Chain A
Amino acid sequence: MSLEFSADAQKKIAALCERYPTKQPVVMAALHLAQKEHGHLSDDALKLVARTLDLPYAHVYGVATFYTMYRREPAGKTTIRMCTNISCMLRNGYEVLAAFEQKLGIKKGDSTTDGRFHLVEEECIAACANAPCAVVGTKYYLDITTEQVGKIIDELKTSPHPESEVV
């Protein structure tokens, strides 16, 4: 099925094309937009980006598969990026990750069956002074304890902070 961008996304892409000497750099933003509007980067979504920017499909595929935030598969609406890198590990980051897994009933990398949550073991998110920490869209959770995990999930159910909110 052939996909399209919304009028708003088309406008954003056209404006960004004015900012660079060629259209190619806009592939990064166009992939973020395609993921926002179509949920994940299916083959058809990659074709849409390629067609919009006059780029070879293989180029778009190459970019989409290099960066970890681009998803080739569907995922839950709210992405919880829990850091377990050194500073978080030293302050129980792995235990907090395990608490998220238990609370959500999934393993890291997976999404809940109700389509609400996607749990990612993230590398350092640059909030080390408040380890262990997680980032959910524009919201940071700092100095997390395992006891707080249930409350965090409840809060995100009413205020989901999808990553697409800033795209």
Chain B
Amino acid sequence: MATADRNTKLVSARFGNEGAKSLATYESMGGYAVLRKALAMRPEDIATEVKTSNLRGRGGAGFATGVKWGFVPKDAKTVHLVCNADESEPGTCKDRELIYWDPHLLIEGMIISAHALRAQKNYIYIRGEMMREYAVLQKAVEEAYARGYLGKNILGTGITCDLTVHRGAGAYICGEETALLNSLEGLRGQPRLKPPFPAVKGAFGNPTIVNNVETLMNVPFIVDKGGAWFAGLGPGRSGGTRMLCVSGHVNKPGVFELPMTITFRQLIDEVCGGVWKGRKVKAVIPGGVSMPPLDNSDELDVPIEFDALQTDERIKPVMVRPGQQFDLGGGRMLRTMAGSGGVVVMDDQTDIPKATWRIMKFFAHESCGQCTPCREGTGWLEKVSRRVAEGNGKPDDLDLLASIAHGIAGNTICALGDAAAWPMLGFLTKFRADFEAKIKRRAA
């Protein structure tokens, strides 16, 4: 089985082709041919291929898509498929591009997945600020209806598949799948307690699968060439390619579809033309600002793959304070995670305390206010990290920041609290001297 190389392009194959977003061009390039094949397959056979493919959720958690689909109760009468197009994790800019360049691939992936799940009323929840992409997607959905790919009795198969684009209105938290479902139902976007998980009780009380844009766009390739082929493209338990978004201090930032065997150092030096201005790397955020950062050591020689980033021993564990490891639960240590694919590179002249403050400011702004540890804690993290960044920090402030972050993590309904706590602890673990220098300067 051939593994992916840097020229393997699946979901990004039509990037740069302005015409490809029209149905006629998409069809002329073979579009919707896989849908015809899929509709002739039994739903459970499609689900089996997806399970075999080792496709993992591209939104951030990296959970196995086929396993997630398997959580829908077998006797479910009404099932929904919802596409999470609420991309807003800082540093992440792939789903917006994917929708813009290839809306019909997303629609085809959704119809195939909906058939596998026997889901009839399906939705794309798109971020409110993505107005251009909403217009592109809405037009594509209307084209697909007119052509008989969507609606009742699609392509004469007797299968019903409705697809509605639901616009958000500005709230990072709606990328969390249960907050997204509340927003889809016309409520404030506050996360729900789990269990029940959405696959059992999701939108409108029915079993619901929520999948990311990139995840669903990979499904046609799996059905076309087989789950085993897709699994073979990637290393270990991670099938396929990965969309990586590189921003910050590199010469050539961009959005690239790459094999998951590539390391951070290769990505920066060989794909992105190295660090700008001839400088060196100071820190790298591996997959959106929720993820603990890496420093410029052999941490950057780890491949950008889901399991490697959690388990590779070259990545130092996140500490609560020197000598005490952060406990993810059951004694599991936190190194980092692949997250959303948003890689943010910071050069050696970066003001790390200031960068950390900006991340905390974001989470304080986006906390939905439901859980006290997150609502109050993210605000405190923002205030204390700001005074440290501005050179007004007190000697105990680093312990205070760690203590607040540790008090939030694991104590909230959804992962936004952890998303604030992890980078706070991660930056303190790996760049403590940068924070201490700011405080010492004030004392001096």
| Residues of A participating in the B interface, judged by any CB pair closer than 8 Å | 16, 19-22, 24-29, 31-32, 55, 62-63, 66-70, 81, 84-87, 89-91, 122-131, 135, 137-140, 163, 165-166
Q: Are A85 and B131 in contact (CB under 8 A)?
A: no
Q: Which of A24, A126, A130 has the most CB of B within 10 A?
A: A126
B161 at the binding interface (Cβ < 8 Å): no
Known A-B contacts A85-B90, A86-B91; A24 and B358 likewise in contact (beta carbons under 8 Å)? no
From A21, A86, A91, A165, give the contact of B285 (CB < 8 A): A86
Q: Are B131 and A135 in contact (CB under 8 A)?
A: yes
Known A-B contacts A86-B358, A166-B131, A166-B135; A63 and B187 likewise in contact (beta carbons under 8 Å)? yes
Q: Are A128 and B131 in contact (CB under 8 A)?
A: no
The CA of A40 and the CA of B65, in the complex, are separated in Å by 41
Please name the residue on chain B nearest to A21 by beta carbon.
Answer: B204
The CA of A26 and the CA of B368, in the complex, are separated in Å by 21
Q: Are A128 and B92 in contact (CB under 8 A)?
A: yes
Known A-B contacts A81-B129, A128-B253, A129-B255; A67 and B87 likewise in contact (beta carbons under 8 Å)? no
Q: CB-CB contacts of B164-179 with A at 8 A, as 1s and 0s?
A: 1011111110000000
Q: Are B248 and A66 in contact (CB under 8 A)?
A: no
Please name the residue on chain A nearest to B164 by beta carbon.
Answer: A19
> Which residues 119-133 in B have Cβ within 8 Å of A in the complex?
121, 127-132
B211 at the binding interface (Cβ < 8 Å): no
For the complex formed, measure the closest distance between the CB of A80 and the CB atoms of chain B, giving whole angstroms.
12
Q: Are B358 and A128 in contact (CB under 8 A)?
A: no
The CA of A127 and the CA of B365, in the complex, are separated in Å by 20
Q: Are B93 and A25 in contact (CB under 8 A)?
A: no
The CA of A86 and the CA of B342, in the complex, are separated in Å by 11
For B135, list chain A residues within 8 Å (CB): 138, 166
30 CB < 8 A contacts A-B: A16-B164, A19-B162, A20-B164, A21-B121, A25-B166, A25-B184, A26-B186, A27-B186, A29-B167, A63-B186, A63-B188, A66-B189, A66-B368, A67-B169, A85-B289, A87-B344, A124-B90, A127-B93, A128-B91, A128-B92, A128-B245, A129-B245, A129-B247, A131-B253, A135-B131, A135-B132, A138-B131, A138-B135, A139-B132, A140-B132
For B121, list chain A residues within 8 Å (CB): 19-21
B362 at the binding interface (Cβ < 8 Å): yes
For B297, list chain A residues within 8 Å (CB): none
The CA of A86 and the CA of B350, in the complex, are separated in Å by 11
From B88, B128, B166, B248, give the contact of A90 (CB < 8 A): B248
Q: Are A86 and B169 in contact (CB under 8 A)?
A: no
For A127, list chain B residues within 8 Å (CB): 93, 96
Known A-B contacts A85-B358, A124-B89; A68 and B170 likewise in contact (beta carbons under 8 Å)? yes
From A26, A91, A123, A165, give the contact of B172 (CB < 8 A): A123
Known A-B contacts A24-B185, A129-B93; A86 and B344 likewise in contact (beta carbons under 8 Å)? yes
Query: How many chain B residues touch A (Cβ–Cβ < 8 Å)?
Result: 57
The CA of A48 and the CA of B15, in the complex, are separated in Å by 43
For the complex formed, measure the closest distance between the CB of A10 and the CB atoms of chain B, giving whole angstroms.
18
Q: Are A67 and B358 in contact (CB under 8 A)?
A: no
For A68, list chain B residues within 8 Å (CB): 169-171
For A126, list chain B residues within 8 Å (CB): 87-88, 92-93, 95-96, 127, 130
For A140, list chain B residues within 8 Å (CB): 132
For A90, list chain B residues within 8 Å (CB): 247-249, 344, 346, 350, 355
For B188, list chain A residues within 8 Å (CB): 62-63, 66
The CA of A77 and the CA of B89, in the complex, are separated in Å by 28
For A138, list chain B residues within 8 Å (CB): 131-132, 135
Q: Are B255 and A86 in contact (CB under 8 A)?
A: no
From A25, A62, A67, A91, give the contact of B170 (CB < 8 A): A67
The CA of A84 and the CA of B359, in the complex, are separated in Å by 11
Q: Are B128 and A69 in contact (CB under 8 A)?
A: yes
Known A-B contacts A89-B358, A90-B355; A131 and B170 likewise in contact (beta carbons under 8 Å)? no
The CA of A131 and the CA of B59, in the complex, are separated in Å by 21
For the complex formed, measure the closest distance between the CB of A139 and the CB atoms of chain B, giving whole angstroms.
7
For A129, list chain B residues within 8 Å (CB): 93, 245-247, 253-255
For B96, list chain A residues within 8 Å (CB): 126-127
The CA of A24 and the CA of B186, in the complex, are separated in Å by 5
Q: Are B355 and A86 in contact (CB under 8 A)?
A: yes
From B131, B189, B249, B366, give the contact of A163 (CB < 8 A): B131
B54 at the binding interface (Cβ < 8 Å): no
For B189, list chain A residues within 8 Å (CB): 66-67
The CA of A130 and the CA of B354, in the complex, are separated in Å by 21
Please name the residue on chain A nearest to B78 by beta carbon.
Answer: A21
B183 at the binding interface (Cβ < 8 Å): yes
Known A-B contacts A62-B188, A166-B131; A87 and B247 likewise in contact (beta carbons under 8 Å)? yes
The CA of A63 and the CA of B249, in the complex, are separated in Å by 39
For B350, list chain A residues within 8 Å (CB): 90
For B249, list chain A residues within 8 Å (CB): 90-91
For B365, list chain A residues within 8 Å (CB): 123
Q: Are B88 and A28 in contact (CB under 8 A)?
A: no
The CA of A135 and the CA of B130, in the complex, are separated in Å by 9
For A70, list chain B residues within 8 Å (CB): 169-170
The 9 A-B residue pairs whose C-beta atoms are closest, nearest first, are A68-B170, A67-B169, A128-B247, A87-B247, A69-B170, A24-B186, A124-B90, A138-B132, A66-B188
Q: Are B91 and A87 in contact (CB under 8 A)?
A: yes
B230 at the binding interface (Cβ < 8 Å): no
Q: Are A123 and B358 in contact (CB under 8 A)?
A: no
Q: CB-CB contacts of B78-92 with A at 8 A, as 1s and 0s?
A: 000000000111111
